[in-house]
Structure 1
């Protein structure tokens, strides 16, 4: 019997949708792909019926991303935090390769072995360099299997480690000089990297590496209604996954959180009449989802089962005030100049002041 997991991979969670699309897909599929590019786009954006949308945004961006992966160019998803870069990359690999687990997590400590290969040192010492002693990286496994590999937060990876990708992306080979051989990528291999454009200057991509990518910039959700729809859908999914007690969907509080985040992000109230200061944090859609999910847990376990302003006020404060000095000033000014006199927001104002 399988042990329950907190979060399933995309290809597991949406296995029925993927099977449905694959079964009815009669269009041309690129080598190594499980479905056609058109079906991949439908999987990401939904069909209004049996296929749920995984991403809400411009269709053309997803079409460009999918078309890139059908060529010999790698794909770089760029955007501010919370624009669904990781989410999109996972679902793209699930739809194209059926396996989203080939992943390199970029950090300041990512070593070249994570991009190329490592060694089983016990076998290396006993028998010397051999195929049995070689430990393949996710990139090498993707090359051998003709699959898509993901590299998260590429600009967090040290520059010299980043450059280990240049030969892989240009020549589609990975030299293994210790064995006097090389690994050639099978058809279907490609790479999706994500990068946070707030990390510019951390470890900029070299011009040689950047030329190997087509870049797609994922924007912040354009309209409040789209953002509300994303929050509602993801909160419902998380509630089921976490087996939270049922809490009636409180659209009023969801809209309130989305409104606060959008106004503070843009520096302007939704009616365009009042300028407000923006905090240092990103206030992404992902953080709005977290605030609502936490509020539902509070309402279920410590409240009356109804999501109220007091259940979300503390979560909003934690999301907004990252710098205890400057952000606290921004938040107090926003409360006093915008929230206090807004019709229907008195309960939230009091809850936020109490926090």
Structure 2
């Protein structure tokens, strides 16, 4: 497993889950591996009575995680909603890992996702030879979750065509998946539930029907409240990814992370942090996830083409690429921001020069 680029959450954090299970004496919902208290602790982090420290997976309002966990303990499905880059997929994976010890029952939503991905499909070679039979059935992650009483995850639910989305209504309301070709049905076992993620800024969004929305309890994951909170998130994820990618660079100074996060927050808000200068916003989302990507690409540049220490020149290309999605309009926005804000900010001249060089 050491050669795997990205381990599933239940594998990467197996020690933390095991330590929580040892100490967890609270009541657990049917088929759950941990109690709601332990799941919250796993997501938010904390120190156990044994002295073991659980790392935080989500940095933000703990009440949102409590609502999400409580929802999964009921017969309501959970919809994690928010802007791109607000850790919806990350939270979804870690919730499934903590609750069931299995985050792999995943349906990836795209414009091409059909009913087979959610319900079931057929092995057509066997179907032609044998006709409809259980052996010819190709089970979906949803069907496996129902049979085993686990959590199924659906990524980017609003990317799925509306008529395919609505195949979930029977599953979520009746907890049953009919298979009329075999004159049978699959009934969900205790513990089964669904976590879906969706955002409202994606191209090709298909609005959820009111009938489907009633089957979900929606938790909106916001952008980080403060600069310090977002810096902490980026620092934590960069550290984790840097180890996985075995980047030869040194850990980035918090000041470099703070500069990237400051730029993203100001361009998102349309005003500098001190409120003195209004700036134009580019068309991209400039999410926390993109800030993490900028720092990681900078570390790769510093490690392979520099002296291993992250500097402005290492981040300039990644920063510019993250901001300029439209080569005309976004370029104007970025140039104006560099001139009016970055150039005038004390201690930022190196970043200004580096960014101008790559434009």
TM range (shorter): over 0.9
Residues 139-158 of structure 1: per-residue CA shift (max 9 Å, x gap): 00000010000000000000
Higher deviation after alignment, 155-164 or 119-128: 119-128
Match of 1:228 in 2: 231
Give the whole-Å Cα distance in 2 for the aligned partners of 1:334 and 1:147. 49
Give the whole-Å Cα distance in 2 for the aligned partners of 1:162 and 1:280. 29
Match of 2:11 in 1: 12
Structure 1 unpaired stretches of 5+? none
Q: Alignment partner of 1:132: what SS?
A: helix
Give the whole-Å Cα distance in 2 for the aligned partners of 1:248 and 1:140. 43
Match of 1:272 in 2: 275
Pair 1:248–1:178, CA change in 2 (3 A): closer
Higher deviation after alignment, 152-161 or 250-259: 250-259
Q: Note the 1:149-160 alignment, pairs <5 A.
A: 149-160=152-163
Give the whole-Å Cα distance in 2 for the aligned partners of 1:116 and 1:68. 23
Q: CA deviation at 1:352?
A: 0.8
Pair 1:47–1:194, CA change in 2 (3 A): same
Q: CA deviation at 1:200?
A: 8.2
Q: Alignment partner of 2:135: what SS?
A: coil
Match of 1:128 in 2: 131
Give the whole-Å Cα distance in 2 for the aligned partners of 1:239 and 1:114. 34
Q: Alignment partner of 1:354: what SS?
A: helix
Q: CA deviation at 1:126?
A: 1.1
1:202 equivalent among 202, 205, 225 = 205
Residues 6-42 of structure 1: per-residue CA shift (max 9 Å, x gap): 0000000000000010111000000010010011000
Match of 1:308 in 2: 311
Residues 109-157 of structure 1: per-residue CA shift (max 9 Å, x gap): 0010000000111111111111111011000000001000000000000
CA RMSD of aligned residues (A): 1.1
Q: Alignment partner of 1:322: what SS?
A: coil
Match of 1:109 in 2: 112
| Structure 1 outlier segments of 4+, above 4 Å | none
1:328 equivalent among 328, 331, 348 = 331
Give the whole-Å Cα distance in 1 for the aligned partners of 2:220 and 2:93. 16
Match of 1:144 in 2: 147
TM-score normalised over the length of structure 1? 0.98
Q: CA deviation at 1:246?
A: 3.6
Match of 1:28 in 2: 27
Q: Note the 1:186-265 alignment, pairs <5 A.
A: 186-199=189-202, 202-265=205-268
Match of 1:177 in 2: 180
Match of 1:347 in 2: 350
Residues 238-277 of structure 1: per-residue CA shift (max 9 Å, x gap): 1110111141432221110010001001111011111111
1:80 equivalent among 79, 83, 87 = 83
Higher deviation after alignment, 10-19 or 198-207: 198-207
Match of 1:38 in 2: 37
Give the whole-Å Cα distance in 2 for the aligned partners of 1:11 and 1:248. 26
Q: CA deviation at 1:289?
A: 0.5
Residues 277-320 of structure 1: per-residue CA shift (max 9 Å, x gap): 11100001111111001101101110121111111111110000
Contact 1:155 1:200 in 2 (8 A): no
Give the whole-Å Cα distance in 2 for the aligned partners of 1:245 and 1:224. 28
Pair 1:275–1:88, CA change in 2 (3 A): same
Give the whole-Å Cα distance in 2 for the aligned partners of 1:16 and 1:165. 35
Q: CA deviation at 1:60?
A: 0.4
Contact 2:100 2:151 in 1 (8 A): yes
Give the whole-Å Cα distance in 2 for the aligned partners of 1:11 and 1:246. 28
Match of 2:46 in 1: 47
Give the whole-Å Cα distance in 1 for the aligned partners of 2:268 and 2:84. 12
Give the whole-Å Cα distance in 1 for the aligned partners of 2:282 and 2:15. 42
Contact 1:28 1:36 in 2 (8 A): yes
Q: CA deviation at 1:44?
A: 0.2
Q: CA deviation at 1:3?
A: 6.4
